[in-house]
Every structure is written in C-alpha cells, then in structure tokens.
Homo-oligomer: A and B are copies of this chain.
Amino acid sequence: MKTKLAIFCVLALALGSICSALAIAQAPDPLPSWNDGKTKQAIIEFVEKVTTAGAPDFVPPAERIATFDNDGALWAEQPMYFQLAFALDRVKALAPEHPEWQGKEPFASLLKGDLKGALAGGEKAILEIVMATHAGMTTEEFEEIVTEWIASAKHPKTGKLYTEMVYQPMLELLAYLRSNGFKTFIVSGGGIEFMRPWTEKVYGIPPEQVVGSSIKTKYELRDGKPVLARLPELNFIDDKAGKPVGIHQYIGRRPIAAFGNSDGDLQMLQWTTAGKGARFALIVHHTDGDREWAYDRNSAVGRLDKALDEAKEKGWTVVDMKNDWKTVFP
C-alpha cells in the first residue's frame, strides 16, 4: 500500500512539474510596458544567461543580488525629492510647537513659502530641516508619521499620491527579476526609515532589503518600555561613494545587477560591474518631458552627467524613457 502511494505521489508531483514547465513556456511578456528594442533585449538576455543552468554565465540563486536606486529610478524625483516635500510638510505641521522658527532660518523662509530662500543655506539648511523633522521621536512614532503622510500627501503637479508616481516598467522589472530568483534591494540616498514603511506594499521589497541614509538611534527604557529614540545626528550617507559602502555593510556581497539614474549611482554601478562574471548596469535617462520630466547634466535634482559618460564608455544599458517605455506611471 505504502509503495503504491509513493509511486502515485511521485507520478502526481512529476506531472505537476511538467505542467508548471508548460505554463512557463507559454508565459506572457514579463515586461509589457517596455517597448521592444535593444534596452529590453539587453535586460532579458542578461537574465537568461545568468539563470540558464549549465551556461558559462550561470549564477546560483543565492548570488543573484540586484540593487535599485529609488529617487528617479523607481519613483519620480521632480520638482524636488519627495522626502524633501515630506520634510517641508512636517515643518508646517510642527511650526505651532516651535514659535522660534518664525525668526530662524531656514524655517522662517520655509514657513513664508519661500523654498528657494530656505535652501539658500545649502547643505547646512537641509540638514537642519531634516533633523528638525526626522529626529526627536521614537522609531515607532516616526514610522506612523511617514505611513500617514505617504497615504495622503499629493504631488503638487500631478495631484497623485507619491506612491502612484512609481514607474510601471520598473515595477515589472522588479517582479521579473524576482521571478528569476533574484533578491531585489533598494540602495538609496534617501532616508532608510522614510522608505521602509511602504516599500514592501509598493515595490514588493521588504524592510530588511532596504539600504539608505540614516540618523543615529539610541536604545532606552521609558517607564520600563524599550524604545529606540531617533537622535539629531547623522549615522550614514548612502550616496555616491557611500553606496558601495552601504551595499557591503548591509548586504555583504556584491550585486550582479544595479539600476540607477544619476551621478549618485555611479560608484554603485562601478562596484557592481567590477565583479567577476556576468554583470549588468542600467541607467534610467529622463528624456520624456511630456509624460514625466526631461533632465540630465544640468539638473540640481538627480544630475546625470559623469555616469552618462561612463555608461557610454563602458557599454552600460541606458533607458531612453521616452522611447523605451510604453507607459510611465501605473
């Protein structure tokens, strides 16, 4: 009886496998929002060569690490980084508790609606805004604040939720890589705790696969209850030369594929492609002024200059958003 059951089970499982294989053979286009052409072809060729068992470029699933920049690569970043919009909204929300801000830059200009004046103070001004809005609460409180904002704040130009301004072709790319055994990570200059509350829902990327910039936290017992207090002190800047550092620190192995859109991603792309075996580097070039924004070498946000030159020199894949993408937003 036992033998018969075993034979029966083996047969059933085998037939199931054949059916799964047939389903794969008949699978529809995994990247329907990408126009056919050399960009889409380059992506598919890379994925096929690293996932074909026995092929010279085969990579075991555990090593199929793919890293994605966020701002300008997975979601839009104009006319300002969305996290800056969050910080400005927080300054307005917190202003009643900070009467001193009325006479103190960069807050005074901000509260008068003069963004340019506020940002005239450069990095120091931005840092002050970030610390005033991102520190001084527990990690759980900050998560709630972000969750509430991301569910309600609207983009000034499109009127959409910010999470509706993610790129449909990139969502398909993330899913395509994962269905081929890749583990997808975000490696962003943005705040790690600003992204984690929503990346799983929006991108299918869980918190433990998000790398970003951070401030320090401190463990404390408050009335016997453990909390992590967010301190007004920088911990790590995950941008430019910080990206390979962040990748090494958080992931501990080199990606085989990396996706970015600006000079902030250059070192990540260099680090990724310098590894042994098949590697893939892709840059999203914002060329679509009608459906999105067109900008590169002279943009204050998401400047793409050195990385565009190096992409040409090294044969990295450059997405021409206008011609390569059928749709931009979902």
Residues of A within 8 A of B (CB): 5, 8-9, 12-13, 15-16, 18-20, 22-23, 62, 65, 139, 183, 192-193, 196, 200, 206-210, 214, 217-219, 221, 225-226, 228, 235, 241-242, 244-245, 248-253, 267, 270-271, 274
**Selected contact of A253 from candidates B20, B192, B208, CB within 8 Å:** B208
A250 neighbours in B (Cβ, 8 Å):
208, 250
A-B contact pairs, 18 of them (CB 8 A): A5-B19, A8-B15, A9-B15, A9-B23, A12-B12, A12-B15, A15-B16, A62-B206, A65-B208, A192-B252, A193-B252, A196-B252, A207-B252, A208-B252, A210-B252, A217-B249, A218-B241, A228-B244
Which residue of the partner chain B has the closest CB to A221?
B270
Q: Report the Cα distance A73→B196, complex, angstroms.
A: 30
**Selected contact of A226 from candidates B9, B210, B274, CB within 8 Å:** B274
On whether A245 and B218 interact (CB within 8 A), knowing A12-B19, A15-B12, the answer reads yes
Q: Report the Cα distance A248→B193, complex, angstroms.
A: 9
Do A274 and B225 touch across chains, with their CB atoms under 8 A apart? Answer: yes
**Within the complex, what minimum Cβ distance (angstroms) separates A249 from chain B?**
7
How many copies of this chain does one complex carry? 2
Which residue of the partner chain B has the closest CB to A185?
B208
| A9, A193, A267 — most chain B CB neighbours (10 Å) | A9
A192 neighbours in B (Cβ, 8 Å):
249, 252
A251 neighbours in B (Cβ, 8 Å):
207-208
Which residue of the partner chain B has the closest CB to A267?
B219
**Selected contact of A271 from candidates B5, B219, B242, CB within 8 Å:** B219
Do A248 and B139 touch across chains, with their CB atoms under 8 A apart? Answer: yes
A218 neighbours in B (Cβ, 8 Å):
241, 245
Beyond known contacts A5-B19, A5-B22: 10 more, CB 8 A cutoff: A8-B19, A12-B19, A13-B16, A13-B19, A208-B208, A208-B252, A219-B241, A219-B245, A221-B270, A226-B274
**Within the complex, what minimum Cβ distance (angstroms) separates A207 from chain B?**
3
Q: Report the Cα distance A270→B221, complex, angstroms.
A: 10
Q: Report the Cα distance A271→B20, complex, angstroms.
A: 43
**Selected contact of A267 from candidates B200, B207, B226, CB within 8 Å:** B226
Do A228 and B248 touch across chains, with their CB atoms under 8 A apart? Answer: yes
Do B183 and A208 touch across chains, with their CB atoms under 8 A apart? Answer: yes
On whether A219 and B206 interact (CB within 8 A), knowing A16-B9, A19-B12, the answer reads no
Q: Report the Cα distance A15→B9, complex, angstroms.
A: 7
**Within the complex, what minimum Cβ distance (angstroms) separates A1 from chain B?**
13
A207 neighbours in B (Cβ, 8 Å):
251-253
Which residue of the partner chain B has the closest CB to A9?
B19
Q: Report the Cα distance A270→B220, complex, angstroms.
A: 11
Q: Report the Cα distance A214→B249, complex, angstroms.
A: 8
A65 neighbours in B (Cβ, 8 Å):
208
A221 neighbours in B (Cβ, 8 Å):
270
